[in-house]
Structure 1
Amino acid sequence: TKALRLKPGSALEVCDGVGGVGRGTILDVDARGEAAVEINEFTRDTSSSGLDWDCIVAFGGLKGGRGDTLVEKAAELGARRLTPFVTTRSAVIGGGERDGAKSRARKTRNGAGD
């Protein structure tokens, strides 16, 4: 989906991975999603020899292959740790019952429905 894509005229920052940050504007986006960008300002931080911050990602249970996307994007950001946690709204992963009717039928077969 393209719901969160930036459009021509949007401001953005780009990083070169070695301390350089460019600030610019999107000029055009073609049909393949590739953008032409005009960089208006570029700065390089020479005082640092690495990341000055840690990126740690905490997330609730994910379903539908979203975990793969999370790992990919977190790695792109330089995350050092991924921490899953369980909430009342977390997706059931593994042996959980997905269908209430199946769960009731299983309980009835096992004599637990009395």
Structure 2
Amino acid sequence: MPRIHVDVPLAAGQPLDLPPGAARHVQVLRLQPGALITLFNGQGGEWTAAVTQIGRSSVQVEVQSHEAVEREIGPQVSIALAMPANDRMDTLVEKAVELGVAAIQPLMSERSVLRLSGERAQRKQAHWQGIAVAACEQSGRNRVPRVAPVMTFSAWLAEQAAQPDTADTTRWLLGFGEAALPLPQRLQPRAPARLKLLSGPEGGLSPAEVEAAQRAGFLPTSLGPAVLRADTAPLAALAAVALAGGMAAGVAPAPAG
């Protein structure tokens, strides 16, 4: 059954004119009146709906039953990363959502290749948010992670230093060095309930940025001896945390599809 995200309130028995993007989705799939689809709005669970009318540019459905199903991983992991160049950020957002990320914060650090500001940064944020929605539709997630506006590393870190986390939140800085503890050890005796992952750009964070991050409470965490790409490192860490959290909760991995 096709899964479609709609950013509107939903209720059983409700006739609903689908928003333009969702309506186009139905039309591209060439669905006919009577076809069933799954709707979700990010507020929890999902709804079955039946297509009732299809016009040239509009689609109406009738919302039916609600299923309070959640497919989130145990830990709530947010990623702050210096944006990789080219289309690598698109793929990173897609895969991070599939792996269960709760939020994504794009950053510009001293050594960042990709630099965005103004209207261009806003367009990119909207583009990445759309990728996050599409990844939720594909993967079965019912809560759409937020892709935050682009910030400079220094501005974002200043916010983190000024805002204390809850007692169950841990901060990790992905990287190398003698102070970096291997990620498997960070996951002992269990995966953190809430985690903020900070990852650098292609050339790595500068020494000053690393020092500032550690002062803000980010613990140096190593992913092993291999040098991973800027778009690979956060995904590897996220996958490890998701697996550890799922195993601790006794959650079986979902079949690929």
TM bracket, shorter-chain basis:
0.3 to 0.5
TM-score, normalized by length of structure 1?
A: 0.40
Q: Between Structure 1 and Structure 2, which shows a larger proportion of strand residues?
A: 1
Q: Between Structure 1 and Structure 2, which shows a larger proportion of helix residues?
A: 2
